[in-house]
A and B are shown apart, each in its own frame.
Chain A
Amino acid sequence: MVKDLSVSLCGIRLQNPVIPASGTFGFGLELADSFDLDVLGAISLKGTTLEPRYGNPTPRVAECTEGMINSVGLQNPGIDVLVSEKVPALRKVYSQPVIANISGFSLDEYRICCAKADACEGIDIIEVNISCPNVHNGGMAFGTSAESAADVTRTVKAVCRKPVFIKLSPNVTDIVAIARACEDAGADGLTLVNTFLGMRIDIARRKPVIANKMGGFSGRAIFPVALRMVYQVAHACKVPVMGCGGVASARDVIEMMMAGATAVQVGAENLRNPFACPEIIAELPYVMDELHIDSLKDIIGTV
């Protein structure tokens, strides 16, 4: 049983399509002692901003049925530490592609951070999180309008030679319109979806569980909605899509790929099972065999 798990993202070869999603795998090194990171297709690093950020007050996490809410608030050491310390340290133990995930609260911040990530040798792909609030526009998230999503894309593309993937928010009325605007503005690819805005209340304390009241809902529960969005966007756009949202098994990976994803990110599942990615990768050839799939490339967008 020789199965070809490899895929190509903008000319970059991934030995398999399974990627831990940003924010659910730290800066990679945190898990280096737990399993061989080189089995992964790629790693998407924790979201990074220009300045170091402590993030939100705790509790930052809430249990939900088949999922969880998080409100970490982009805790990170800043782009300079990412490119000078985190990435070089990861590169000592890991040789597959690295995806830097960049966040910003202004177009300037996106531009400066992405230029620094682009100049960092150990980084292969730049993923831009546009779910952050724009401090110059009343705090409305960049990713909630086609115009501001395109603005970020143009700004970043002007300073990057490496492939740029825009990570889309699902908290919008028409994700296809925003995906198309990013593609038209020059995005090399799209990652979708980010988390869904959610909330839980502790009914005994009569207070929100999360200190910041609301947070991003993710986990198995969102899979059908994420899959639907991947399907719609992949069929409306020509650029490659990294599918993300509720993926927890090799079957989910194949389903996402049939919907149109070229690569698949695993997020919240890592938090309940730190070995989720290597387990899914090990399971893939068996599921492919069962479904008479020889190469994963053959199933992308076939539904």
Chain B
Amino acid sequence: MKEVRFTILDNDPIAANTWKMKLSGDTSAICCSGEFVQIALEGKFLRRPISVHDVDWETFSIVYKVVGEGTAAMARMLPGDKLDILTGLGTGFSIDSCQSKALLLGGGVGAAPLYQLAKELCAQQKEITVVLGFNKADEVMLVEDFEGLGAKVYVATMDGSVGTKGFVTDVLRLKNIGYDFFYACGPMPMLKAVCESVKGRGEVSLEERMGCGAGFCYCCSIQTKNGPRRVCKDGPVFKKEDIVW
């Protein structure tokens, strides 16, 4: 865990109510995909946890949905503005669990952390299929980004305006996608459906309201098959078989 003052390089809308922010600063504490950061915001007591979308040596990006006052304030920020951020939080995805063919399942803004994961899997020459689910066309995002990495991308929308009508699990029923390990991130009902219906081994990134984000306040505990675990420290990524729904 490292507290770093970052400078905003870009902060632009990429889909309905959804923004991508690129920040410059010391990213050395961010070590793997699926990790998150805690952002301090003026006038807010608790920091806002947001997953890492993309990281390199000097910059990292987040993709966030405006859901409240905190994220609304973030959307108003401009290049050059500074943010105090705790980096290197959480236990992320295990890229070595996948042998050769990975299936990535993203719901809404949950697609964001899968991009860094795809980059890491790509570096290991693994074959990647991405299935992204959204409510409607104006929410669809990051498709070209995943395609740019060489991934095969399918989209599902609830209203059928883009791709398959329905959920990501409907895409899996209709298409014959080969994989030996899956990774999922999205809203909890989607993750529950994924864990119940998607066959084989996999990992999912869970959501929970957090306090410290660093494992010492125990505000975000969940019950797992191995006992209580902290989403912020032991997760947010958990093995499919360990989660109690």
Contacting residues, chain B, for A24 (C-beta < 8 A): 212, 216-217
Do B214 and A30 touch across chains, with their CB atoms under 8 A apart?
A: yes
Do A34 and B1 touch across chains, with their CB atoms under 8 A apart?
A: yes
Contacting residues, chain A, for B215 (C-beta < 8 A): 26, 30
Do A25 and B216 touch across chains, with their CB atoms under 8 A apart?
A: yes
Q: Does A286 contact B (CB under 8 A)?
A: no
Chain B contact-residue range equals 20 to 34
Stretch at the interface among A67-75, A146-154, A186-194: A67-75
Stretch at the interface among B51-59, B137-145, B203-211: B203-211
Contacting residues, chain A, for B97 (C-beta < 8 A): none
Contacting residues, chain A, for B223 (C-beta < 8 A): 54
Contacting residues, chain B, for A88 (C-beta < 8 A): none
Q: Does B80 contact A (CB under 8 A)?
A: no
Do A271 and B212 touch across chains, with their CB atoms under 8 A apart?
A: yes
Do A61 and B46 touch across chains, with their CB atoms under 8 A apart?
A: yes
Q: Does B63 contact A (CB under 8 A)?
A: no
Given known A-B contacts A54-B228, A66-B45, A61 and B211 have beta carbons under 8 A apart: yes
Contacting residues, chain A, for B45 (C-beta < 8 A): 63-68, 219-220, 268, 272
Question: In residues 180-239 of chain B, which contact A (Cβ within 8 Å)?
Answer: 208-212, 214-223, 228, 233
Q: Does B4 contact A (CB under 8 A)?
A: no
Q: Does A33 contact B (CB under 8 A)?
A: yes
Q: Does A270 contact B (CB under 8 A)?
A: yes
Contact among A30, A33, A275 for B3, CB-based, below 8 A: A275
How many inter-chain residue pairs (CB < 8 Å) link A and B? 93
State the interface size on chain A (CB cutoff 8 A): 34
Within the assembled complex, what's the spacing in Å between the Cα atoms of A65 and B46?
10
Within the assembled complex, what's the spacing in Å between the Cα atoms of A67 and B1?
23
Do A31 and B216 touch across chains, with their CB atoms under 8 A apart?
A: yes
Within the assembled complex, what's the spacing in Å between the Cα atoms of A187 and B233?
37
Given known A-B contacts A26-B217, A30-B215, A72-B217, A61 and B210 have beta carbons under 8 A apart: yes
Within the assembled complex, what's the spacing in Å between the Cα atoms of A46 and B3?
24
> Closest A-chain residue to B214, C-beta based?
A274
Within the assembled complex, what's the spacing in Å between the Cα atoms of A63 and B209?
10
Max chain A Cβ within 10 angstroms of own Cβ: one of B44, B215, B217, B223: B217
Contacting residues, chain A, for B233 (C-beta < 8 A): 30
Within the assembled complex, what's the spacing in Å between the Cα atoms of A65 and B42?
11
Contacting residues, chain B, for A33 (C-beta < 8 A): 1
Contacting residues, chain A, for B209 (C-beta < 8 A): 58-62
> Closest B-chain residue to A210, C-beta based?
B209
Do B228 and A75 touch across chains, with their CB atoms under 8 A apart?
A: yes
Nearest CB in chain A: distance from B170 CB, A? 28
Within the assembled complex, what's the spacing in Å between the Cα atoms of A62 and B70?
13
Contacting residues, chain B, for A63 (C-beta < 8 A): 44-46, 70
Given known A-B contacts A33-B1, A75-B228, A272-B47, A26 and B221 have beta carbons under 8 A apart: no
Q: Does B74 contact A (CB under 8 A)?
A: no
Given known A-B contacts A24-B217, A26-B215, A68-B211, A274 and B228 have beta carbons under 8 A apart: no
Nearest CB in chain A: distance from B236 CB, A? 13
Q: Using CB atoms and an 8 Å cutoff, list the residues of chain A in contact with chain B.
A: 23-26, 30-31, 33-34, 46, 54-55, 58-68, 70, 72, 75, 219-220, 268, 270-275
Contacts A58-B209, A272-B47 known; list 4 others, CB within 8 Å: A34-B1, A60-B209, A72-B217, A270-B217
